[in-house]
Amino acid sequence: MTKAEIVAEISNKTGIEKITVQHTVEAFMEAVKDSMKNGENVYLRGFGSFVIKRRAEKTGRNISKNTTIIIPAHHIPAFKPAKTFVNEIKNNVK
């Protein structure tokens, strides 16, 4: 499902104009990104959590040059679904 499809579905279910829904969805995504840039996790009860995970430094290989490289420690965004959300998917996927 794309962002445009999400906007269209919310608009159809609520009767709110698509442009208003689009601004709301984009504002939500921007708020999540800004919070995570500031080092804060975002928790949505019953849905899941947008969390920041730390990856430790590790050694990798450049197979085309046959050399080793050091990949520095870094942070990545991740999504962890809530247990109720996971259970709904497990039991209802067609």
- Using the predicted structure, report yes or no on whether residue 43 has a pLDDT greater than 80: yes
Q: Which domain holds residue 36?
A: 1-40
Number of compact structural domains in the chain: 1
Mean confidence (pLDDT) of the chain: 94
Q: Is residue 83 part of a domain?
A: no
Task: Give, in order, the Cα–Cα distances in Å from 86 to each of 45, 53, 56, 65.
Answer: 13, 20, 28, 42
Q: Is residue 18 part of a domain?
A: yes
User: What pLDDT, in 10s, does the model give residues 51-63?
Assistant: 999 999 999 998 8
Q: Is residue 12 part of a domain?
A: yes
Q: What is the DSSP letter of 56?
A: P
Q: Is residue 76 part of a domain?
A: no
Q: Is residue 91 part of a domain?
A: no
Q: Which pTM was predicted?
A: 0.79
Task: Give, in order, the Cα–Cα distances in Å from 26 to each of 7, 57, 75.
Answer: 10, 34, 23
Q: Is residue 4 part of a domain?
A: yes
Chain-centre distance of CA 45, in angstroms? 15
pLDDT for 93 equals 76
Q: Is residue 20 part of a domain?
A: yes
Asked if 7 and 23 touch (Cβ cutoff 8 Å), the reply is no
